[in-house]
Amino acid sequence: MVDLVNVLEWVFALLQMALFVVAAPLFTAWIKRVKCWLQNRRSPPLSQPYRDLRRLFSKQVLLAHTASPLFRTAPYLVFGTTVIAAAVVPLIALELPTARIADAIVLVGLFGLGRFFLALAGLDVGTTFGGMGASREMTVGALAEPAMLMVIFALAMGAASTNLSTVIHSMLAQGLALRPSLLFAFLALLLVGIAETGRVPVDNPATHLELTMIHEAMILEYTGRQLALMEWAAQLKLMIYGVLVCNLFFPWGIAQTLDPASLLIAGGLLSVKLIILGAVLAVAEGLVAKMRFFKVPVFLAVAFTLALVGMLSFVMLESAS
Amino acid sequence: MNRYLELQLVEQAIITLAAMILVTSFALLGQSRVVATIRTFAWQGWLLALTTALVAWDIGHPHLYLSAFLTAILKGVLIPWLLTRQARQLGILRAVDSIVRPGITLLIAGALVVFCYGVALPIGQLVEGVTRDVVAISLANVMLGMFMLVIRRTAVTQVVGFMAMENGIFFAAVAATQGMPMVVELGVAFDVLVAVVLFGVIFFHIRDSIESLDVDALNRLSEVEK
Amino acid sequence: MIALALTLLFPLLGAIVLGWLARPNASSLLNIAVSAAGAIASFVLALNVLASGPAGGKLFYIDPFNVYLIALTALVGFTTAIFSRPYMAHELEQGRIGGGRLRLYHASFQGFLFTMQLALSTNNLGILWVALEGATLATVLLVSLYRTPESVEAAWKYFILCGVGIAQALFGTVLLYLAASQAIPDTDDALLWTELYKHAAELEPSVMGIAFVFLMVGYGTKVGLVPLHNWLPDAHSEGPTPMSAVLSGLLLNVALYALVRVKMLVDGSLAEGTVHDPNLAGYLMMGFGMLSFIVAGLFLHRQRDIKRLFSYSSIEHMGLMSFAFGLGGPLATFGALLHMTVHSLTKSAIFVTVGHACQIAGTQSMEQIRGLISTQPNVGWGLLIGTVAIAGFPPFGVFTSEFLLLSATMDAWPWLTIPLLVGIAVAFSGLFRHLQPMVFGIKPPGQEALKINMLPVYLHLFLVLWLGLAIPGFIAGWFDQVTQLITGRGLL
């Protein structure tokens, strides 16, 4: 006999994942809106990404002659891995059945898998831009992943676990403390997130200038619903990093039980955090210029160093008992 | 989790600042422009002064305030100002002195920090109070400063490395022993100041004699027959 | 204590006045006068201390060990000042330096003597560090005095390597202070050598072991121990020769003095032998000393510059002294003290003759220095006899001290006598293969004698000969007191 509560929890986990997926375009729209404000432009409505997606889904898919089956399946794989990644990250509640697989290394692995197919798809059609974008994406990825893992190790050492739920639990338990390891891990995660989600100054999602684009270059050949899935996956990835930053470093308010009141509070607080984070991101993007590609390794080396120092300072300064 | 979380906020701030000084040491290793290197060094000086002042406040050693003040003036203002001025006169303020193999450098630097941690463990046992664990960080700063001297190629950035090393030692004195006796501290500060002035004089000698400040060009004296 | 104050004040005031005095002739005379006054004050101080025992307070502390070095420093400073008068006059005449540089030279020379005397007489190990770093600062502009690319390079190496090295010593001093502040109630006194020595047994051995490694690296750089010696031949060869004489004869001694003082503390702290080997400091010094002795002896063969040749000889002898102090025991320590003295005297005498030889030949390259004896017999013979003395021939004092050291080694570590003897032989051949053509060779056409003052050479070599033939009872008693101080047991 199936335990009723357990079923309920699974239902809720699925609901949370759905919320994640549905809210992702909104986060992107919010960042764009703040940027518009900063540039004294009138912004598109917040519903614009949804309209774009709907439009793309209703359009016909056009395929290049050289496209292989891989090219056609890649969008589903990329979107799929990103959705599973979203399921792994705690959004507003902790005590969910998915918590057991909510492992940070799994998360990095899922992102790596998605990137792998994305890069293959970019190469598949055989256009110049696709290949260039894929090569750049893999370069960034190869540098960002070690930095990301360092961040995870720095956090995991504090909580003695790589499980995201456990990490958040221990963060909640420790209360307010000024810890160098967290400070540096936070800064490093921000940098890695910017690189991974293709934001300024590593990539510019708003441009199709051939010399600078990374992510856009790889999905240049996609049309219709396949393009929609690719874009949605990218928005989802941005949202996942945003939620990671908010929930790992500022977890206060996240629901530890499944009663409606605390869930409501958690949802509200998370929205506020994401709104602030999005605004900060938009302001930061407005202040810095996109860097030349060969500077990106330096950017990621900074992230890696910060995470490394974070881990070292945990061992050296915080672990003594 | 443990002792750290039971510390007062000011003590956590001291430790966090110590870690930030370590970050500036890493940043000094990685900076490629001369002017950025000097600026990072000034930041390190200010962080050091702030840490010293917080330690003074935490343990109630009034003479450390004087050290903090001295550090801020000397390391935060005077030496960066002198170095910037000299670099501008030499026309190398915007020169690039990038490191050759950043990846290897970073790994060696990380390994050095771990090594220092090992060396400093028995020392820390003897230190009382919040700065016990900071001794390792200060030793790491000394070693990273020395490492910077090894990998840097222009005379000015080497001097910054030298001064960063001195910062590390001063930091060690603050962390391990709440500063040295005042007379020694003044003597060391005097030596450092004279050293910077003399370094400035020698910069010009080097420029005049080899028409560059690249220390790789200083290779006339050797035991190998040429 | 007035004598002490004068010993320090003469060079300090001399540095200030000579920095302003623009007339070359007057300033070189004043330089000699100030050094002579300092030397007399230091002799009075030495007699006082020997008669009435150690004296001093919190700032300064004088015992037989450092007063012996103070007197030696002042004496060699005085004779080098005599030497530098004709030497610098010749350089001025040749246009290698101008009046301003001469002023810088004189001020730096006296400033250097001041830092040496301060380092020796202070009771505070922190001030000792400050003074040793000050010695680097005082001499760095002397190394680049000629402003040739080579001399500037040598100055840069000297500054950076010594600076980095001695920074390690400061870290070691911090650790020493840490260990001391646990044992000594008043932390303001915790760096005073007298207090530290009193509480040596209570100092935490684990920290003292690490502290000694840092101090060894730091002061060892200044001693010129291999592998931290790279600055030494460069600085010695590119600066003016009187400076080479005082660097070799004095600075290296003072750095070694600092190391020996620290070793006494570490030995006291590690005596229990629970954390480290009780003889850790001694082994380190023996190891580095032996390495320097052998490596420098081999490098002697490769030299082409006469001043580099003798600076490697200095490294070799400093290595031998470090080895002897590391060996410990009354005989080795007595021998090391004697060796310190005779090496200082002989090496500075050699540098006087070398300086004049280079001026006669107009070069430092040994291939072009020829026929010294036929050109100017006193320089040629001075160089020959000095080299004979430094190579350890009887009846000079270096032979006596090396004999004592070998006997002590034979007693404690018999098999180590073999590398020592081989090293002495290697160094001997290294010196004489270069020396023979220089002094006896055929005089190149146009080479003429110079107007010089050989008094320093005669005085030094006479003293070395005297110490080799018969150590006066007064000196032997003095060294015995020092040996007692360092090892706890006397030899006599």
Tell me which chain B residue has its CA closest to the CA of residue C162: B162
Contact: C164, B146; criterion CB under 8 Å: yes
pLDDT at B226: 47
Per DSSP, the three-state class of C84 is helix
Q: How far is CA C271 from CA B42, B222, C264, C279, in A?
A: 44, 43, 11, 8
CA-CA distance, C199 to C180, in Å (whole number)?
8
- In chain A, what are the domain boundaries? 4-318
Shortest distance between the Cα of B10 and any Cα of chain C, in A, equals 23
Q: Cα–Cα distance between C401 and C317 in angstroms, integer?
A: 11
Asked if B15 reaches chain A (Cβ–Cβ under 8 Å), the answer is yes
Residue among C133, C155, C233 minimizing CB distance to B202 = C155
Residue C361 has pLDDT above 60, yes or no: yes
Tokens of A238: 């941005």
Tell me phi and psi for residue C370, to 5 degrees. -140, 150
Residue B215 is classified by DSSP as: G
Domain boundaries, chain B: 8-96+108-209
Label residue B38 by pLDDT band (50, 70, 90).
very high
The C-alpha of A170 sits at a distance from chain B's nearest C-alpha, in angstroms, of 9
pLDDT at A59: 92
What Cα–Cα distance (Å) separates residue C476 from each residue in B140, C228, C337, C473? 47, 33, 10, 5
Cβ–Cβ < 8 Å for A27, A279: no
- Structure ipTM: 0.94
Helices C280-299, C417-440: inter-axial angle, 10-degree rounding: 30
pLDDT score at B223: 67
Portion of chain B with pLDDT greater than 90, in percent: 53
d(CA C297, CA C423): 6
Q: Which amino acid is at B80?
A: P
Alpha carbons A143 and C216: distance in angstroms, whole number? 42
Averaged pLDDT score across all residues of chain C: 92
Smallest Cβ–Cβ distance between B22 and the set A170, A309, A319 belongs to: A309
- Two structure tokens written together for B29: 């290793």
User: pLDDT grade, residue B210 (50/70/90)?
Assistant: confident
Does residue B224 carry a pLDDT above 70? no
Whether chain C lies against chain B with 3 or more Cβ pairs closer than 8 A is: yes
Hey, what are B143's tokens?
């070693």
* Residues C170 and B173 sit within 8 Å (Cβ to Cβ): no
CA C313, CA C18: separation in Å to the nearest integer? Answer: 32
Q: Does A289 touch chain B (CB under 8 A)?
A: no
The residue type at A279: A
The pLDDT-based confidence of A1 (bands split at 50, 70, 90) is very low
Are B223 and C302 an interchain contact pair (Cβ–Cβ within 8 Å)? yes
Report the Cα C75 to chain-centroid distance in Å.
13
- Region C246-266: mean pLDDT is 94
The count of other CB atoms within 10 Å of the CB of residue A65 is 6
Q: Which residues of B touch A158 (CB under 8 A)?
A: 1
CA C109 to chain centre: 15
Q: Taking 70 as the threshold, does the pLDDT of residue A2 lie above it?
A: no
Q: How confident is the model at residue C115 (pLDDT cuts 50, 70, 90)?
A: very high
Ramachandran category for residue C121: left, alpha or beta (phi over 0 → left; psi -120 to 50 → alpha): alpha
User: What pLDDT, in 10s, does the model give residues B123-138?
Assistant: 888 887 777 888 999 9
DSSP character at residue B218: -
User: pLDDT-based confidence at A176, cuts 50/70/90?
Assistant: confident
Residue C441, pLDDT above cutoff 90: no
Q: Is the peptide bond before A40 cis (omega within 30 degrees of 0)?
A: no
C5-18: average pLDDT: 93
CB pairs < 8 Å spanning B and C: 142
Of B9, B103, B110, nearest to A178 by CB-CB distance is B9
